[in-house]
Structure 1
Amino acid sequence: MSAPDHRLGLILVGISTLSWSTAGLFTRAIQADLFAMLFWRGAFSVLGLLVVLVLLRGARSLKTFVHPGLWGWIYAATSTAALFCYISSFRLTSVAHVAIIYAIVPFCAAGLSWLMLQERPKRDAILASSVALIGAVVMVGFGNDGHIAGDILALIMTILMALMIVISRRYPLMPNLHAGIVSIFAALVISLLFIGSITQPPDQLLLLAVFGLVNSALLCALEAPIAPLWVWLAFGERPSPITIAGATLVFAAVTWHIARQSRSANLLPVAPP
């Protein structure tokens, strides 16, 4: 990968980070039950993604939903499970815990790539993974502002997201956007089976609409320090000192690893025209 492509990737991931990091804020502000939130969020997300898909690739791209391929279906099923774990974890533990646990996703992906694709991680990645793991253990093991059930769901979600990354890397031609829409629609249908009340007040519907449209973006590990910030500012949910210490270790590991990767990209020789 060339240095310009690497920088563009980081910029795009940074933009998606800002949108996705608001998930904790919305789950705190929305009063609807879990399945009502998943239903309406899914409805607005699917609508927004379909519009984007048609604008980017034309109406003919909708035919791909009929045959996304075996790994497309596996990707969609994994994404659906990750979505349920993700939203549920916010209701069971602190936003800071969910965000920081999710911040280790690149290192989980590196481990799965090693197991599934025989891609041996570099020494820098192993070192950063170790520091991030220590930070997560410090936060979960010694922090008092989370709950073990929510932390476990956040960890399961992180592993599932890492699996999605590896699948995308192994099958680069897989229609990810189509599979993502299928996964959200599946979560919508499943939620409809358990929903308490489908009707919501106008103010809640507005929040759900914004939540669904904004969070159609990709996930990213650097949401870790941003997600708790929104909730702290809006609701005063302040992370404990232990959580902040663990988060600092994780964030430092991720930042250092990105910096090292960027430096490596800049040192790559440029191919002649």
Structure 2
Amino acid sequence: MKPAAATHAAFAVAATGIAVYSAMDTVMKGLSIASGAYAAVLWRSLVGVALLAPVFVARRTRWPGRRALRLHVLRGSTGGASVLLFFWGLARVPMAQGVALTFLAPLIALFLAGLALGERIRRTAIAGSLVASLGVLIIAAGQVQAHASDAVVAGSIAILAASLIYAVSLVLLRQQAQAADPIEVALFTSLVLSGWMLLAAPWFGTLPQPGQLPAVLLAAALGSVSAVALAWAYARAEAQSLATTEYTAFIWSALFGWLVFGERVSPYTVGGALFIIAGCLYAVRRPAPAPQTEAAL
């Protein structure tokens, strides 16, 4: 497959993965409201392991090496903390607003990647971050105008914290996807998350009600499919080529939030999301190459 065609295919698969993930967010929000974010994330992770482990074993895949295991543990840990904070916050704020706040993650990841690799952070990244920050302020202004409750404010803060941690996870995903195949990435991410969650299960964990089991299975299946799709895509294209697929989640979250929870998207949320997206896109924009002079020719 030609490089351009491979990038287009990876983009399409990543966009599909985001749509599936948005559907999973909807199911998980319902579970988080009913039983708490901790229990919902724990159930989804354990069922995800049960779904993926037989596939991993049946393929007779070699056990991951030390470097891959280290990446699995790091991303599973950071991703787990991010997921727990996100769903705790999502249970308290409208889906579209919560997802809009997560759009800061790719921008934060740009700065983290620059610091980790010792690269100079471009002026466009700094300008883009200022524009995106204005978007966050617009969403906050919408909460003030709507006299948001303390729960909504706390949920928004939790999602912003989740975005910061998720940015670290995005930096690790590219390395993880290059060191292991998609099934392994999805399985060990769920496995590490389950391990951490089980440590506190005696204090915070609860068993799902029988009527919740179909939703738990659906959330785990959707999460596994999305994780495999994104790992496949990130292994075949640069992160900067796929970052914009994250923004399609706003459309899906607004649609699912309206259909399932009757949520309306405020103009403040739409305006804030547009500023955040614009800032992120400007931040990753590369300067045009300097025109060649006659001397260079």
TM exceeds 0.5?
A: yes
Aligned residue pair count: 258
Q: Which amino acid aligns with 1:77?
A: S
Q: Specify the alignment match of 1:221 in structure 2.
A: 246
Mean Cα deviation higher: 181-190 or 108-117: 181-190
Per-residue deviation, residues 9-50 of structure 1 (Å, max 9, x unmatched): 211210111011124421343323333312221122222332
Q: 1:247 aligns with which of 259, 264, 273?
A: 273
Question: What is the rounded CA distance, in whole Å, between the counterparts of 2:40 and 2:160 in structure 1?
Answer: 21
Q: Which amino acid aligns with 1:148?
A: V
Residue pair 2:136, 2:276 contacting (<8 A) in 1 also: yes
Question: What is the rounded CA distance, in whole Å, between the counterparts of 2:123 and 2:48 in structure 1?
Answer: 39
Q: How does 1:144-183 map to 2 (within 5 A)?
A: 144=146, 147-169=152-174, 173-175=178-180, 176-183=185-192
Q: Which amino acid aligns with 1:245?
A: G
Normalising by structure 2, we get a TM-score of 0.73
The answer for unaligned runs of 5 or more in structure 1 is 265-273
Question: What is the rounded CA distance, in whole Å, between the counterparts of 1:199 and 1:72 in structure 2?
Answer: 27
Q: Specify the alignment match of 2:237 in structure 1.
A: none
CA RMSD of aligned residues (A): 3.2
Question: What is the rounded CA distance, in whole Å, between the counterparts of 1:187 and 1:230 in structure 2?
Answer: 30
Q: Specify the alignment match of 2:21 in structure 1.
A: 20
Identity among equivalent pairs (%) = 21
Q: 1:42 aligns with which of 30, 42, 45?
A: 45
| Distance change >3 Å, CA 38–CA 165, structure 1 → 2 | closer
| Distance change >3 Å, CA 137–CA 77, structure 1 → 2 | same
| Distance change >3 Å, CA 213–CA 91, structure 1 → 2 | same
SS in 2 for 1:238: coil
Q: Specify the alignment match of 1:269 in structure 2.
A: none
| Distance change >3 Å, CA 39–CA 15, structure 1 → 2 | same
Per-residue deviation, residues 107-140 of structure 1 (Å, max 9, x unmatched): 1110101111123355555544433322122112
Normalising by structure 1, we get a TM-score of 0.79
Mean Cα deviation higher: 232-241 or 218-227: 218-227
| Distance change >3 Å, CA 102–CA 240, structure 1 → 2 | same
Q: Does 1:119 align with 2:136?
A: no
